[in-house]
């Protein structure tokens, strides 16, 4: 699938793509995954008490 990696993040993403997009990803020699900063404190917010 992707050189030098048995299981990669790109291979994981490929699993969820429609067939035509999978082929695009397989042919992309310069594709990469980038992570955006995320404020995990947003997960700790609570709504009004009941």
Q: Tens digit of pLDDT per residue, the chain (50 long)?
A: 555 555 688 888 899 999 999 999 989 888 888 888 988 888 777 766 65
- Model pLDDT, residue 48: 67
- Compute the half-sphere exposure of residue 34: CA atoms within 13 Å on the CB side of its CA: 4
- Model pLDDT, residue 17: 94
- Model pLDDT, residue 23: 92
pTM: 0.50
User: What distance, in Å, lies between the first and last C-alpha atoms of the chain?
Assistant: 51
């Amino acid at each position: 699938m992707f050189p030098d990696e048995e299981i990669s993040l790109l291979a994981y993403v490929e699993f969820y793509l429609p067939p035509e997009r999978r082929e695009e990803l397989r042919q992309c020699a310069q594709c990469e995954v980038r992570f955006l900063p995320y404020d995990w404190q947003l997960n700790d917010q609570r709504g009004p008490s009941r």
